[in-house]
Each structure stands twice: as structure tokens, then as C-alpha cells.
Chain A
Amino acid sequence: MKASRLARVLGVLAAGAVCLMVQPAACAQGGRGGGAPQTAKAASPMDLAGYWVSVITQAWRLRMVIPPRGDYLGIAVNPEAKKVADAWDPAKEEAGGNACKGYGAAIIMEMPERLHITWPDENTLQMEIDAGTQTRTFHFGKWAPPEVKPSWQGDSVASWESRERDPRRDPKARYLQVNTNHLLGGFLRKNGVPYSENATVMETYDFFQEPTGEQWMIVTTTVTDPKYLARPLLVTAQFRKQADASGWDPTPCSATW
């Protein structure tokens, strides 16, 4: 073999080694344009389908029961929000058909609850929630709602993100990001601390598996609402995957419990 040819062969081998180190998934697919794009379901770092239970170890009395009127601790409310919260009347909310105000997308992941996650199609993740019998739908890819109609759970667009902003990295290295808008105004806490219809919600979902095989999901939620918040609210929630549907207990929204 001529020396120049040997050099070319070694060069190709070197490039292959670098490719395998940097972007193993891409190399396996033959590089850029080497295969059909993965669906959202296929790109998932673990099997998300199934039942998940929230594990409430923090801010217990603010999450497990309705705290008293005027308890805003941990929420950077502005004077306008305080005014609204101080006028909270749960019986009036219930009678007015607004019992679900405390179950909107801005805060529902904080509630004591179980989730049932399914994939209705390859690019849509559905999350049923037993608390308040709510359903969230995460749309991946290019999504435009058929009509803009505000709701408790709003309109959610999801994507798998790489921490290095490289979409071709190994799927196990990804987290889920969900952006939600088109919300009805609701409560950040069930004691009437408000968020407005202009609030936006950005969530990240991280996943990991313990050596025991237990799967965990950590949800970080950022709520931005210039109308009622002096700065964005940033809260987290912990979920553990269950083997089955035990404990699943759909209950209607309640403004009083």
C-alpha cells in the first residue's frame, strides 16, 4: 500500500473514531441525513408510559392541604396579586364553576397526584392526572393549535433537548422541555394566589433510574406572569414510576379541599 493511500485510510479511521465519540447515535445512522428522523416516542430516554406517583417531601403544608388565606410564602407576588389573593372566597369559586382554578398547568404538577402517561401517536404525549381529573397533551414537532381557545391546561409544545444543544446526541442524554400558553387565569396555590391568562409556563422533565430499577422523573416548572409576579416562580416536583395503576384515584376539582 502506498504511503499516501495508507494516510487516507488512517484519516478515515480517525474521523470515524471522533464521530463515535462525539455523536454515536448519528454515526450509527450514517451521519447527517442518514436515516428517517426519530419520532418523539422513539427518542424518549426511557419508557415513560405508565403510572407515576408524586412524592411530597417539601412544602408539605402548602401542597397537601389548602393553606390559609394570605399565605404567599415562596411566591414573589406583587401588590395586585396580594389584593386578589386576600379576596379569595372558595365557596364563591365553587359556586361559580371555577373549582378547577387551582388545577391549571402552571401548578398542577405540584399537587399530590398520580399521572397516567400514554402516547396516542408517535409525536403526542398525553398525561392524565387523577387530581382534578385533568388531561395535559404535549405536542412534539411543528404544532399549531386548530383554534386558540384558553383552557386550564392550555396549549403545550414539547421537544427533547440536549444539554449541549446538539439534537443528534445519544437519546439517553436528553431532557424534555414543554412550553405552555393559552391558559385561563388560575391559582398558583389553592388559597387563591393568582396567575393571569397571560402567564406562560416552561417545564423541564429530567429522568433517571436508580440501581434498584426504580425510575424517577423530576419536573422543574417556571411560571412567568408580569401581571401578578415580581419575578418568575420556579418550583419542582418529584415523581416515581409505579409498576401498575394502584392508587389511581380520579377526583373532581375542588376549591374547598
Chain B
Amino acid sequence: MTSARPIRKARNVLLVPMALLAIGSPLFAQIDISGSWSSYNDSDPLSQNPGPRWYPLDFLGVPLNAMGKQRGYLYEGEENSEPERICGFYPQLYLPIGPHGLKIWNETEPRNGTTIAWHLNSWEDRPEMTIWMDGRPHPSKYAPHPAEGFATGTWENDVLVVYVTHMKAWQVRKNGAPSTDEATMLTRFFRHGNELTVTSRIDEPTYLTEPYYLTKTYVQDGVAAMLSVGAPCIQGDEGVPEEKVPHTLPGKNPAVGEFQKIYNIPTEATMGGAETMYPEYRKKLKDNYKVPEKCPRNCGGPGVDVRR
């Protein structure tokens, strides 16, 4: 009796770490990213919505190929205001290019408390993203591509890495830079105290010549407690009658030259391409660029805050 007790004690002491080993050391590398996160859109204020929007045919810094430029040229922004599309969700590509803050929470396995999924909502426009952490495989490429897409996550040390597939064909910039349903997104969540820096790499095999990286920063600033779901969408009139099919014909885009006229940036540059992402592209502009005299519109100023 007296000799069995220490063994039982030791066994119990050993069972705890053994159980932890069975779960895996990543338990200690996982960071809590739950909570309400305000989106500080200072890095990409042009993506703010409502308010200033991207100009048509501003594909500066997007690595579009020739086909992508042509498809972008044919985009008509009124498409999103067709009655049948107003309440349609954007795909998960909206995470890096949209303006919204995030509500993040985890779903736990009831018996041991481990996280089996993270959930990201943004209260409008984009559906909830469920990030499966239980190692399940992605579906076949022939499986349906719902608005939610399909996301799985792993921890690289203490950075959450999320891989999203099965997204609907859409855009990599809100003004029509195109994407297909073969696009994938790899997103890393870096937490620094109350800041969360999120870098997404978009791979789009049809329209981009190289991966497209976008970074956003969120802050737990206590400004807003966000909800895990948004209000129901009510289809309203956004100015496009039911019988109209918004479209742009080849060679007929009325926005051609508009950006050049406003900002003195050549149309050839505004059509994007990988070379526009790199510093040396400035040399191509140097001889022809003249700083516009005054900001024409969407200028910001005191009292204007792009944070959401």
C-alpha cells in the first residue's frame, strides 16, 4: 500500500505531459487571436467603402497579365448593383481588399478544449470564414465553390497560416481586376500585443503573372465590440433597373484616360502589370509625371478617419 502510492503519484505526474505531448507541442505555440479588431485602413485608404472608392482602371501595383488587363478593362462597376447581386456575398478575397474590422472567435472540441476551428466574420459583404484546424483535407477541385470558400489553418511557430481554396470567381481589387475560381489565398496572422498584422498572398493562375501580396493591420482598440453576424441584407434600389445588364464593350470603356487626366499617371501604367510593383518603375514615370496642382476629390482631412 505504501509503496504503490508513490508510483501512482508518479504515473499521474507523467500522464499530464504525456497527454500534452499527444496533443502536440503546437499547443504552446498557439496565440489567442479572438476578439473585436478594428481595421486601420491607413495602409490602403483607397479601399475604404463607403466613401472614396477605387477609380475604374486603376490597376497600379496589380501583377495582371495581358488577359487580366483585358478582362479588367471590360469591368462595369454597376454589376454589383444589379438587384439580383446586391445581397450576394463577396468571396474571401474580400478579407485583404475590403475595409471591415473583424470579429474572431474559436470553436473548441468539447472534451479537451482544443481549437478545432477559428471563425472570422466582418459583419457585412463577406460571409463568415471558418478556418478548420483539425487537419481535414480540402475538397476536390470539382466540389462546389460557395461564397464561404474552404479554409484550413496551421501554426507556423506562433503565426496562424490560413489556406483558402474553392472561392468564387471575382476580383483581386474592387474595381474589377479579375480572379477566377482557381484563385487561392494564403494568409498569415501576426499578433503583436493589441495589433494584428495580416498578410495575404493571392495566387491567381489565369490573370496574374506572380503572387499578389496585400497586408492589413487591425487593432483591439476598444472602439467597437463587433457582432459575429451582420444585419440581414435588404435588397434596395441601387440605381440599376431590373432589365438592364451592366456591361462594357471592347474599346468602349469611358473611364480610359480618366485617371491620367486627374492624377497625371499614364494610362499604360494604370493598367498594372508586375513591373508596376517595384521601385524601378518610377524611372519610367519620372520624365512625364507632374504633381497635380491640387487634390481633386477623396482627399481626407481633419475629422476623416478611414478606420472601420
A residues whose Cβ falls under 8 Å from a Cβ of B: 2-4, 6-8, 10-11, 13-14, 17-18, 20-22, 24, 53-62, 64-79, 81-82, 90, 112-114, 130-131, 161-164, 169-170, 172-173, 175, 177, 191, 204, 206, 208, 210, 216, 218, 220, 222, 230-231, 233-238, 247, 249, 256-257
SS class, residues of chain B in contact with chain A: mixed
Residues facing A in B278-294 (CB within 8 A) are 278-282, 285-286, 289, 291-294
Closest to B196 in A: A220
Contacts of B229 in A (CB 8 A): none
The distance from the CB of B297 to the nearest CB of chain A, in whole angstroms, is 10
Q: List 12 A-B pairs, Cβ < 8 Å.
A: A7-B6, A21-B21, A24-B25, A53-B278, A55-B277, A58-B46, A64-B276, A68-B294, A68-B295, A73-B46, A90-B291, A235-B217
Contacts of B188 in A (CB 8 A): 206, 208
Interface mask (B22-45 → A, CB under 8 Å = 1, otherwise 0): 000101110100000000111111
B123 interface contact, C-beta 8 A? no
Closest to B11 in A: A10
The distance from the CB of B293 to the nearest CB of chain A, in whole angstroms, is 7
B170 interface contact, C-beta 8 A? no
CA–CA, A163 to B292, complex, Å?
Answer: 44
Contacts of A6 in B (CB 8 A): 6-7, 10
The distance from the CB of A147 to the nearest CB of chain B, in whole angstroms, is 31
Contacts of A257 in B (CB 8 A): 286, 289
SS class, residues of chain A in contact with chain B: mixed
CA–CA, A22 to B25, complex, Å?
Answer: 7
Contacts of A74 in B (CB 8 A): 41-45, 300, 306
CA–CA, A37 to B291, complex, Å?
Answer: 52
Contacts of A64 in B (CB 8 A): 60-61, 276, 281-282, 285
CB pair A206 B279 closer than 8 Å: no
CB pair B294 A218 closer than 8 Å: no
Closest 10 CB pairs of A and B: A74-B45, A7-B10, A112-B279, A73-B300, A7-B6, A60-B60, A10-B10, A173-B157, A68-B292, A71-B295
Contacts beyond the supplied A3-B3, A206-B159: 6 A-B pairs with Cβ under 8 Å: A3-B6, A56-B276, A58-B47, A62-B45, A112-B282, A233-B42
B89 interface contact, C-beta 8 A? no
CB pair B6 A73 closer than 8 Å: no
Contacts of B292 in A (CB 8 A): 67-68
CB pair A204 B300 closer than 8 Å: no
CB pair A170 B299 closer than 8 Å: no
Contacts of A238 in B (CB 8 A): 199, 213, 215
Contacts of B14 in A (CB 8 A): 10-11, 13-14
Interface mask (B74-88 → A, CB under 8 Å = 1, otherwise 0): 000000000000000
Residues facing A in B171-206 (CB within 8 A) are 188, 190-192, 195, 197, 199, 201
Instruction: Choose one: A7, A75, A114, A234; the contact of B300 (CB below 8 Å).
Output: A75
The distance from the CB of B188 to the nearest CB of chain A, in whole angstroms, is 6
Contacts of B212 in A (CB 8 A): 57
CB pair B216 A236 closer than 8 Å: yes
CA–CA, A54 to B303, complex, Å?
Answer: 31
CA–CA, A58 to B47, complex, Å?
Answer: 9
